[in-house]
Amino acid sequence: MTDTASRELPLQEIDEVIIRFAGDSGDGMQLTGDQFTSISAALGNDLSTLPEFPAEIRAPQGTLAGVSAFQVRISDFDITTPGDAPTVLVAMNPAALKAQLHNLAQGGALILNTDAFNDRNLEKAGYASNPLDDGTLDDYRSYPVPMSQITRDAVAEHGVKPRDAERSKNFFALGLISWMYTRPVEPTLEFINTKFRGREQVINANTAAFKAGYNFGETAEIFEAHYEVKPAPLAPGEYTNVNGNTALAWGCVVAGQLARLPVFLGSYPITPASDILHEMSLKKNFGVRTFQAEDEIAAAASAVGAAFGGALAFTSTSGPGLALKGETLSLAVSLELPMVVLDIQRGGPSTGLPTKPEQADLMMAMYGRHSESPLPVVAPRSPADCFDIAIEASRIALKYRTPVIVLSDGYLANSSEPWLLPDVDELPDIGVEFATEFNGTNEDGDGIFLPYLRDPDTLARPWAIPGTPGLMHRVGGIEKEDGTGNISYEPENHQLMIDLRQAKVDGVDVPDVEVAGDAHADLVILGWGSTWGAIDAAAGRLREDGFEVAHVHLRHLNPLPADLGEVLRRYRAVVCPEMNKGQLCDLVRAKYLIDVEHIGKIDGVPFTTGEVTSAVRKRLEELAGS
């Protein structure tokens, strides 16, 4: 069966394909998509993935609420997004078809498990008539396949109970798609053996289903061709496939190594951030202590305590949790202790859309604490960038003794891309020194420790940890005297401390703006966070169409790069796509009096390249006409 050309079907070379696997949440679609991604990565394709989970764990079987999907785009060229519209949709049941068909590109291919299209399932999905034969699918290329039946037949000889037999049908689908896109079979067979080690019957059943799917493609004579996507010209080196939450977790673990500090994570489970807690909990051999707290507040408070004790402290959460942590973060601002808050933004307000991304916590990160409580804010731009941003956030936190907020989102969290592994020796040293000696004298000339005596360059205060003889001191949320840290209600001192805390954050060393694309264009697209991929791809398309476009993407949101205002003023138009009602627009307008134009979208789905392209094109055409 490794002879993929046995039926002499034409092998067509294509530059990319976007496949969306969709089924019931119990159908194993994420596993199927993951495995297809792994094989394609090993073949050297560039790729990008986007899982889509229902908010309910197991919604009733066969219903729209229970549809789980996984989109993967593979290509022979450099890509930055999982693609706008899938060109292939694998639908395991009517609900999956109904929920996902609108995503499919015109003329796209539909691979359907016809066995699932019975009256009961059709009714559950809300189909009045069977879409397989009522004309609904006329605009697409349909490939009806009785997946359940063939899977049952294939696994029967392995003694699998009929009820369990169908559970292997995702491997049938994977086999079929593997054949269609000429993926090798061995890696998947190995994967099945490893994944289900010790469960012989399951291994045999999944292997049989996978092979049946592969063979079906070859022999069923319903496909007119199969396809090949050649490797992409990626930079040479060693790659792994990583999603944003994993990269962020690894970044936190590695930051501890780079700072030579034990890592502490205080966290309370919340979608879509929980995987960070899970991943870091697996890294105890790195000395990482994870603490599943009783609530979001305790999670943040425990991080403050750990930071006081000398750990590199993190707390991970999403919007509702960041709201609860506000008071504790303002304590951390006042105590001037290093810690990093990982906010994986999701749709809101309130519970909102737990599994869907949004970028609407920016103002909360900036200002969502009582009084003047400034802290640095950074945002990763891609899944792999999450690794670097965790290290950068830790660097800032340690150097300036301040809490730092990282704004990732549900899209980056779960989406994955190939990551060229960094050279470990090239990673930055972010270590800082603890205070060990007196830094002042009292009126009698005796040495004393002044916990709020600042470094003149960074304005950071000394970090003296318990256990250090002689440096006993008390810190608290009450306003304190600069230098001594003693409680002070003096008006001048409060003004001074307010100003110092602000100056410290304003003075964080942030690299200058990098302009991508046509630096001398009339228009610049300003973005932050996860919109990078869509904006980058849109700018590429516009350039292909003859437009000049510049792109500035911010990783540091507080403070902003020092030259940002100057750079943006070079352009006739500044447009800013964000998944919110214009929060970065407002910040930049307020700070620089630059008329940033908002391109908004808050529907729980990341910007597509097409959406950014058409919005920016419209503006470019206006500029050309004016």
Closest CA to 311 of 455, 449, 465: 465
Angle at 43 between CA 41 and CA 47, to 5 degrees: 35
d(CA 555, CA 406): 10
Q: Which stretch binds another protein (CB under 8 A): 128-136, 230-238, 366-374, 519-527?
A: 230-238
Rule CB under 8 A: which of 416-445 touch another protein? 421-422, 424, 427
| 184 contributes a contact to another protein by CB under 8 A | no
| 128 contributes a contact to another protein by CB under 8 A | no
Rule CB under 8 A: which of 550-609 touch another protein? none
The structure tokens listed for 233 are: 């010209």
How many other C-beta atoms lie within 10 A of the C-beta of residue 561? 18
| 96 contributes a contact to another protein by CB under 8 A | no
How many other C-beta atoms lie within 10 A of the C-beta of residue 580? 19
CB neighbours of 512 closer than 8 A, spacing ≥ 6? 561, 562, 563
Rule CB under 8 A: which of 483-542 touch another protein? 486-487
Rule CB under 8 A: which of 244-283 touch another protein? 246, 250, 253-254, 257, 262, 264, 266, 283
**How many Å from the N-terminal Cα to the C-terminal Cα in the chain?**
62
| 306 contributes a contact to another protein by CB under 8 A | yes
Among 474, 544, 590, 626, the residue binding another protein under the rule CB under 8 A is 474
Task: Specify the residue, 190 or 595, whose C-beta has the smaller distance to another protein.
Answer: 190
DSSP string, 180-226: HTT--SHHHHHHHHHHTTT-HHHHHHHHHHHHHHHHHHHHSS--S-E
Q: How far is the CB of 588 from another protein (least distance, A)?
A: 33
Among 16, 153, 327, 597, the residue binding another protein under the rule CB under 8 A is 327
Task: Specify the residue, 92 or 293, whose C-beta has the smaller distance to another protein.
Answer: 293
Exposure string (b/e) for 501-517, b if CB count within 10 Å is 16 or more? beebbeebebeebebbb
Angle at 205 between CA 199 and CA 210, to 5 degrees: 125
Among 471, 513, 550, 579, the residue binding another protein under the rule CB under 8 A is 471
| 38 contributes a contact to another protein by CB under 8 A | yes
Q: How far is the CB of 311 from another protein (least distance, A)?
A: 4
Among 99, 277, 304, 523, the residue binding another protein under the rule CB under 8 A is 304
Among 107, 135, 236, 456, the residue binding another protein under the rule CB under 8 A is 236
Q: Which stretch binds another protein (CB under 8 A): 156-164, 204-212, 241-249, 534-542?
A: 241-249
Give the distance from CA 459 to its chain's centroid: 33
Q: Which stretch binds another protein (CB under 8 A): 36-44, 87-95, 366-374, 570-578?
A: 36-44
Among 196, 286, 438, 592, the residue binding another protein under the rule CB under 8 A is 286
Q: Which residues pair with 577 in a beta bridge?
A: 599
Among 14, 16, 26, 44, the residue binding another protein under the rule CB under 8 A is 44
Give the distance from CA 378 to its chain's centroid: 14
